[in-house]
Amino acid sequence: MYLHLGSSETYFPDYITHLVAVQTESVLQALGYETFSMAYEKNASVRIGIKDQFVVQVIEGCNAVSVIILFLSFILAFFSGWKKTLLFIFGGSVLIYTLNVLRIALITIGIYHYPQYTDLLHEILFPLFIYGVVFLLWIIWVNRYQKPKTLKDE
């Protein structure tokens, strides 16, 4: 490991992006890859590499915060009582965050082994995956947890 970001006293570029990069590196190591990471100030990112080559850059847009906000907004728009709504938001947010870390780890592995498919992996397949999960969560929320309005409610 070249530079382990988890030992840093400061968080770069921001706390959540830093955390996502550290956790992605941990997932890669758990899968048997020799990884390293480095803060990259030129574009406020964290670079993650395998063996002796940089493979990906984790930027603020990779941390899933905007995806979680999108998910949260939809759920709140179809509010269904505090307890159910907050539990679903919490569970869905944890799921989205976790799948995002796995998504970045898989993108890193894919690009490392198949660099010719970088655009396909980064621009099409993995965004489709993460937004597909959000869409499925929305469908589950509307179909299972949203109480239907009756004539008395109107």
User: What is the C-alpha separation between 135 and 124, in angstroms, rounded?
Assistant: 16
**For residue 81, pLDDT beyond 80:** yes
Q: Where do the structural domains in the chain lie, given as residue ranges?
A: 5-147
Q: What is the mean pLDDT of residues 74-81?
A: 92
Residue 150 has pLDDT above 70, yes or no: no
Measured over the CA atoms of residue 15, residue 17, residue 18 and residue 23, the dihedral's sign is positive
Sheet order of strands, 45-50 included: 35-40, 45-50, 53-58
pLDDT above 50 (res 2):
no
pTM: predicted TM-score of the whole model, two decimal places = 0.86
Q: What mean pLDDT do residues 68-94 have?
A: 95
Per-residue pLDDT for 132 more than 80?
yes
Main-chain dihedrals φ then ψ at residue 150, nearest 5 degrees: -105, 175
pLDDT tens sequence across 98-116:
999 999 999 999 999 999 9
- In contact, 36 and 57? CB cutoff 8 Å: no
Residue 11 or residue 1, greater confidence: 11
The enclosing H or E element of 56 equals: strand 53-58
∠ at Cα 83 (81, 84), nearest 5°?
70
Q: What is d(CA 131, CA 78) in angstroms, rounded to the nearest whole number?
A: 19
Cα–Cα distance for residue pair 8/22, rounded to 1 Å: 11
31 close to 21: Cβ distance less than 8 angstroms:
no
What pLDDT does residue 30 have? Answer: 98
CA angle 97/102/104 to nearest 5° reads 95
Residue 1 pLDDT > 50: no
